[in-house]
Amino acid sequence: MLANFTSSIFTSLLLLSSPFISGDNDELSVKTQNPSLPRSDVDLLEFPLNLEFLEAEFFLWGSLGHGLDEAAPNLTDGGPPPIGGKKANLDPLTRDIIMQFAFQEVGHIRAIKKTIKGFPRPLMDISPGNFAKLMDNAFKQKLNPPFDPYANGLNYLIASYVIPYVGLTGYVGANPKLQTTQAKRLVAGLLGVESAQDAVIRGLLYERALQKVEPYGITVAEFTGRISDLRNKIGRHGVKDEGLVVPPVFGPEGRTPGNVIVGDADSLSYDRTPEEILRIVYSTGNEHTPGGFFPKCADGRIARYYCGGKD
């Protein structure tokens, strides 16, 4: 069941090869809410706004049937509403948890924008069709009927497995590259809550790991493994993602197949670079080619650079 590893996303490449962080611009400040921040810190705080917007919209729509335009319109800065959001058919417990996640994401966007200027909400695709394509790619065949994240609580939790972990690995990758205490404190705070969200999602799914997702007859554990494998593949930077059940040699201390919280050989969180994250959220395996959740590119100086921008 080697289908239990997936993806690559937020930081090593940034410092080793990215044009955004080098000794040449470490002292360069930009106009933000806090002009004392060096440009490298601004870039690393700005980029994850893409993921925070994505999570906020997906969780708001799934739990409440509306997005940021109703929940916190001041945070969108006039950016376009997402494609395909709808209220999910959730049981009361799942709805309550997802609603809490949604409002936490609103707070995350506000916290980042209080620190740096940020950017308007980018165009995002959270439609059933986009998730169906992602699942088809994960299983290397078309699921019949197409996977619908909004159909029921279990489907929604599986779809939620797709998103917060990507941002989590990005924060892990960014934190040691930050220069200022202010930026490090913010990222540490964001990482703590993102990690908790991912742990809750994984815990709820682990409880049902051997349950079959109908009508596909595929277990929850295999869904998570396939998703993780896909992210590893298109992230193109080794194993940084693991499903809920793994061969024992890959479990904690090589002693158990249970993998409710993912970690490396020392049970430390994996890190990803912005380039890896873009490859994954675009679903293209190429940071230069938008698609997936961001059909017209993510925003921020790093993402615009890879989409052909001049920043």
Residues 271-301: pLDDT tens digits?
Answer: 999 999 999 999 999 999 999 999 999 999 9
Q: What is the three-state SS of the chain? A: CCCCECCCCECHHHHHCCCCCCCCCCCCECCCCCCCCEHHHHHHHHCCHHHHHHHHHHHHHHHHCCCHHHHCHHHCCCCCCCECCCCCCCCHHHHHHHHHHHHHHHHHHHHHHHHCCCCCCCCCECCHHHHHHHHHHHHCCCCCCCCCCCCCHHHHHHHHHCCHHHHHHHHHHHHHHCCCHHHHHHHHHHHHHHHHHHHHHHHHHHCCCCCEECCCCEEHHHHHHHHHHHHHHHHCCCCCCECCECCHHHCHHHCCCECCCCCCCCCCCCCCEHHHHHHHHCCCCCCCCCECCECCCCCCHHHHHHCCCCC
pLDDT over 90 for what percent of the chain? 84
Q: Please give the structure tokens belonging to residue 12.
A: 């090593």
pTM over 0.85: yes
d(CA 123, CA 221): 31
Q: Please give the structure tokens belonging to residue 221.
A: 């554990």
* pLDDT confidence of residue 236: 86
Q: What is the mean pLDDT of residues 44-68?
A: 98
pLDDT higher than threshold 60 for residue 20: no
Each domain of the chain, given as residue ranges in start order, spans: 12-306
pLDDT over 70 for what percent of the chain? 88
* pLDDT confidence of residue 308: 83
Amino acid at 233: K
d(CA 104, CA 134): 26
Residues 183-220: pLDDT tens digits?
Answer: 999 999 999 999 999 999 999 999 999 999 999 999 99
Residues 75-112: pLDDT tens digits?
Answer: 999 999 999 999 999 999 999 999 999 999 999 999 99
pLDDT higher than threshold 50 for residue 248: yes
pLDDT-based confidence at residue 267 (cuts at 50, 70, 90): very high
